[in-house]
C-alpha cells in the first residue's frame, strides 16, 4: 500500500505543493481521503473527521472539498444523483459503480484503448473524460 499521503507531515507538504494553506481542518479532511484510498461523500468525510470529537463543521467540509477540487488535489465523481463522491486519485482512471450497494471502484485506464471518438466542436477543449461502468449483482 502506498503511504505517500498518509502521514500528517506528508499531507502538509502535499497541501502546500497545491497552493493550499495547511490548516488543522484541511489536514484532517485530506487525511480522511488519502489514508483510505476510497471514494467518499462529504457526509462520510465529515463523519470520519468528527468521529472522536468534533473537529470541523459542515461548512468547512464543503469549503475544503471544493477548494481541493479547484486546486486539483482531488476530483469529483458524479455518478449518483443524490450526492457527489470525492476521489483522492487524480490519475486518469475509470470507475465501476455498483448501483445496488453504491460502491465505487477504480478501473485502471492503462490498458483501456478508446478510439473513434469524434473531433470536438470548434472552440472547445476537453477537460476530461469520465467512463462509468454500471454493474449490479447477477440475479
Q: Which does residue 118 touch among its own copies, Zn ion, DNA, none (CB within 5 to 8 A, set by kind)?
A: its own copies
Decide if 58 contacts 49 (C-beta within 8 A). Answer: no
Whole-number Cα distances in Å, 139 to 5, 100, 102, 132: 39, 11, 17, 21
Please report whether residue 42 would count as binding DNA according to CB under 7 A: yes
Please report whether residue 131 would count as binding its own copies according to CB under 8 A: yes
Q: Segment near DNA (CB under 7 A), from 4-12, 51-59, 101-109, 125-133? A: 51-59
Distance CA 105, CA 27 (A): 24
Distance CA 49, CA 33 (A): 10
Question: Contact residues for Zn ion (CB under 5 A)?
Answer: 87, 89, 106
Question: Contact residues for its own copies (CB under 8 A)?
Answer: 76, 78-81, 83-84, 96, 98-99, 105, 107-108, 111-118, 120-121, 123-138
Amino acid at each position: 500500500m502506498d503511504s505517500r499521503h498518509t502521514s500528517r507531515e506528508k499531507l502538509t507538504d502535499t497541501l502546500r505543493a497545491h497552493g493550499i494553506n495547511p490548516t488543522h481542518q484541511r489536514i484532517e479532511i485530506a487525511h480522511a481521503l488519502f489514508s483510505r484510498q476510497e471514494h467518499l461523500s462529504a457526509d462520510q468525510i465529515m463523519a470520519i473527521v468528527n468521529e472522536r470529537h468534533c473537529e470541523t463543521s459542515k461548512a468547512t467540509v464543503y469549503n475544503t472539498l471544493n477548494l481541493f477540487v479547484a486546486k486539483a488535489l482531488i476530483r469529483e465523481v458524479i455518478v449518483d444523483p443524490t450526492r457527489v463522491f470525492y476521489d483522492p486519485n487524480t490519475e486518469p482512471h475509470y470507475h465501476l459503480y455498483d448501483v445496488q450497494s453504491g460502491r465505487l471502484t477504480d478501473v485502471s485506464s492503462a490498458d483501456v484503448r478508446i478510439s473513434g471518438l469524434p473531433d470536438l466542436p470548434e472552440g472547445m477543449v476537453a477537460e476530461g473524460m469520465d467512463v462509468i461502468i454500471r454493474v449490479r449483482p447477477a440475479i
